[in-house]
Chain A
Amino acid sequence: MKKILFYFFGMMAFTFSASAQGKPAPDADNAGLKLPAGFGALKVAENLGRARHIVVTTQGDVYIKLDRAVNGKGVLRLHDSKGNGKADVITGFGNYGGTGITIKNGYLYASSNTEVFRYKLNDKNEVINPDAPDKIITGLGTGQHPSKSLILDNDNHIYVNQGAYSNSCQEQDRTAGSKGKMPCPVLNDAAGIWQYSPDKLNQTQADGIRYATGLRNVVGFDWNQQTNSLFVMQHGRDQLFQNWPEFFNEKQSAELPAECMYEIKKGDNAGWPYIFYDQIQHKKILAPEYGGDGKKEGGADAINPTVAFPGHLAPDGLLFYSGNMFPAKYKNGAFIAFHGSWNRAPLPQEGYYVVFVPFKGGKPSGDWEVFANGFSGLTEVKNPNDAQHRPCGLAQGPDGSLYVSDDAKGTLYRIIYNGK
């Protein structure tokens, strides 16, 4: 027992000395991640559950939305009392699963797949009354593409995505040769972004404004403070080969369509389900469900993507970096967490990494690059469930650290810059 106490006090002394440095030390193996030179990473916590979106307070505490509540807690709060970067005080509340979480103007917002709640915060950004949130939005549709991401602008609006309950609006969903419904009824109440008031209670979709349409499923989005506009990452449609083998082969079906980043202005239409974006031809292509053959163009009224990534990578997190810790090239650029594909089989899966896109003046200023890799723990992912970790949410810490959540094993990563 004495020995243990000795050891314990030794550890305490060590951790106190670590906290004095301000910046935590990366794990010896950089938390298993492959990063650019000068960067390091540590695991803030592990085995948290299905950690979806995350937000970091100005005090450095992390709120995590779990896809499924663990022991009745669907929102976790991680606190590092020792300043060594490791969360040692983990509490929770909110007995519901979901994805969305964000903080704005003294409130924490969190979503289930059907509702949005807000919690008043105190001056330390702690939730005052965790068991009595305001229910601001209710009765949202769920099912296929159920998650509800949340972000606020600077004019007192909250944005909520409403994923399409369909792959490509076929008469028979995901079925070979089945034609598209015309017009697509899914667009009436889904496949878009809705804008609501963050202050009114019990709003339904009818109380909101359809801010953008023709977006099949958006999980990662962020409000860009440079452009003062919404940027979204769309999950493109699946199964071009499986449903339309006369027009697409397996390789084309693995690469197409693009996973698109769009800058959204009120009233925009991104074209789903009538078109998809082909990042190889750099064209909006008519969907095969609507008479397309992989070459015919369409979507004259649909906006063009800001960035087009390879198919099926599943962008679940988007963050514009405004911190000062990382080198200058990262300032105002976009980080995207790609959860990783499933619809590339029998070809190898792709994604399972965080990418970076440099921005200048609110526009991309260079090609995208893989920033953080190694989450899957595999050189090649064949089956998605083989991946050890899958990146999902992104958040920026007050010191400019980049946090990444993992909804497979529940690891929270913190990426820091140590270079000169």
Chain B
Amino acid sequence: MKKLIGTIVLITAILSFQTAPKKQVPAKPVTNTTAPATGIRVSIIRGQDVYLKQCLACHQANGSGVTMMNAPLAGAKAVIANDKAKLINIVLKGMKGVEIENEIYNNVMAPHPELTDQQIADALTYVRNSWKNKASAVLPSEVAAVRNAGKKKK
């Protein structure tokens, strides 16, 4: 029993140590000197509009997706990950079914290259900051960089 308690304490300590740096993330936009402090909020509001038109039909109003069919966004690690390029690529190129935490989602996601850099940045900023998701904004310049890198490969 003592061992068990010890293990729990240890795990808790490790977890809190690991999550500690993440808690500082909300303060990070300060380093983004090009955007005003309200930038992310404005982007989220614009992003919601894009989400309603382009994403909601499959990913649903609460971002839960649909079990066995459409991938969830709420609580999804890939959505709030620091690797924004991967996320931007999914929007630009679409996706063919995906496995997330042992759950298989079979439906195909359409690519959305027709959306502007601003629209994709706003939509991703919205999904990264909705339904208890919390992550840094995606900037149009970051979308442009991924889009151009994809073009060069061709």
Q: Do A and B bind each other?
A: yes
> Which residues of A line the B interface, CB within 8 A?
67, 143-146, 166-167, 172-176, 239, 241-242, 342-343, 345-346, 382-386, 408
Q: Which of B66, B72, B114 has the most CB of A within 10 A?
A: B66
B84-122 interface code vs A (CB 8 A; 1 in, 0 out): 000000000010010000000011111100100000000
Q: Are B108 and A174 in contact (CB under 8 A)?
A: yes
Q: Min CB distance, B151 to chain A, in Å?
A: 18
Inter-chain CA distance A342–B66, complex, in Å, is: 7
Known: A174-B108, A175-B111. 19 other contacts (CB 8 A): A143-B106, A144-B107, A144-B108, A167-B108, A172-B110, A175-B94, A176-B114, A242-B57, A342-B69, A343-B58, A345-B57, A345-B60, A346-B52, A383-B61, A383-B62, A385-B65, A385-B66, A385-B72, A386-B62
CA distance A145 to B68 in the complex (A): 10
**Complex contact A384–B94 (CB within 8 A):** no
Taking a contact as CB atoms closer than 8 A, the residue among A173, A382, A385, A386 that contacts B110 in the complex is: A173
Contact of B68 among A67, A172, A343, A345 (CB under 8 A): A67
Which single residue of chain B is at the shortest CB-CB distance from A239? B57
- B97 contacts across to A, CB distance below 8 A: 143-144
Q: Is the CB of A342 within 8 A of B70?
A: yes
Q: Note all chain A residues with C-beta closer than 8 A to B61.
A: 345-346, 382-383
Given contacts A172-B111, A342-B66, whether A144 and B60 have CB atoms under 8 Å apart is no
In this complex, what residue of A is CB-closest to B109? Answer: A174
**From residue A390, how far is it (CB to closest CB) to chain B in Å?**
9
Q: Within 8 Å CB of A167, what residues of B?
A: 108
Distance to closest chain A CB from B72 (angstroms)? 8
Are A383 and B70 also in contact (CB < 8 A) when A172-B110, A173-B108, A175-B94 are?
Answer: no
State in angstroms the CA–CA spacing of A49 and B58 once bound together.
24
Residues of A within 8 A of B60 (CB): 342, 345, 382-385
Interface size on B, residues (CB 8 A): 24
B interface SS class = loop
Which residues of the other chain, B, contact A408 by a CB distance below 8 angstroms? 67
Q: Is B56 an interface residue (CB 8 A)?
A: yes
Confirm or deny: B64 has a beta carbon within 8 angstroms of a beta carbon on chain A.
yes
| 12 A-B residue pairings within 8 Å (CB atoms) | A143-B106, A144-B97, A144-B106, A166-B108, A175-B111, A342-B58, A343-B58, A383-B61, A384-B66, A384-B67, A386-B62, A386-B64
B110 touches A174 (CB 8 A): yes
Binary A-proximity of B25-43 (CB < 8 A = 1, otherwise 0): 0000000000000000000
**Does the CB pair A383–B57 fall under 8 Å?**
no
Per a CB cutoff under 8 Å, which of B67, B94, B108, B114 touches A385? Answer: B67
In the complex, what residue of chain B is closest to A67 when comparing beta carbons?
B68
B residues engaging A (CB < 8 A)? 52, 56-58, 60-62, 64-70, 72, 94, 97, 106-111, 114
Q: Which 5 A-B pairs have the closest CB atoms?
A: A175-B110, A385-B64, A173-B108, A342-B66, A383-B60
- List, in ascending order, chain B residues with CB within 8 A of A343's CB: 57-58
User: What total of A-B pairs shows CB separation below 8 Å?
Assistant: 64
Checking A146, A173, A383 against B64 with a beta-carbon cut-off of 8 angstroms, the contacting residue is A383
Closest partner residue, chain B, to A97 (CB atom): B104
Assembled-state Cα–Cα distance A345/B64 (Å): 13
Q: Bound state CA distance, A342 and B108, in angstroms?
A: 15
Assembled-state Cα–Cα distance A176/B114 (Å)? 10
Contact partners of B66 in chain A: CB under 8 A: 342, 384-385
Q: A145 CA to B97 CA in the complex, in Å?
A: 11
With A and B bound together, what is the CA distance between A382 and B68 in angstroms? 18
CA distance A172 to B93 in the complex (A): 11
| Chain B, residue nearest A253 (CB) | B57
Contacts of A241 in B (CB 8 A): 57
Distance A215 CA – B68 CA, assembled complex (angstroms): 21
* Residues of A close to B110: CB separation below 8 A: 172-176
Shortest CB–CB separation between residue B126 and chain A, in angstroms?
A: 15
> How many Å lie between the Cα of A150 and that of B28 in the bound state?
56
Task: Provide the bound-state CA to CA distance between A382 and B66, in Å.
Answer: 12
* Interfacial chain B residues near A67, Cβ < 8 Å: 68
State in angstroms the CA–CA spacing of A175 and B92 once bound together: 12
**With A and B bound together, what is the CA distance between A388 and B114 in angstroms?**
37
Docked Cα-Cα span, A239 to B70, in Å, equals 13
CA distance A386 to B63 in the complex (A): 11
Closest partner residue, chain A, to B70 (CB atom):
A342
Residues of chain A contacted by B70 (CB below 8 angstroms): 342
When distances are taken between beta carbons in the complex, the residues of chain B under 8 Å from A345 are 56-57, 60-61
Chain A residues, CB < 8 A from B56: 345-346
Q: For A386, what are the chain B residues with a Cβ–Cβ distance below 8 Å?
A: 62, 64
Q: Which residues of A contact B72 (CB under 8 A)?
A: 385
A382 to chain B, nearest CB (A): 6
- The CA of A303 and the CA of B49, in the complex, are separated in Å by 42
By a CB distance below 8 angstroms, the chain B residues around A175 are 94, 110-111
Q: Determine which residue in A143, A166, A382 has the highest number of CB atoms from chain B within 10 A of its CB, and name it.
A: A143
Q: How far is the CA of A136 from the CA of B67 in the complex (A)?
A: 29
User: Chain B residue with minimal CB distance to A343?
Assistant: B57
Task: Knowing A383-B64, A385-B66 are in contact, say whether A146-B106 is a contact too (CB < 8 A).
Answer: yes
**Complex contact B52–A145 (CB within 8 A):** no
Chain A: which residue is nearest B108 at the CB level?
Answer: A173
Once bound together, how far apart are the Cα atoms of A174 and B56, in whole Å?
A: 14
Shortest C-beta distance, A344 to chain B (Å), equals: 9
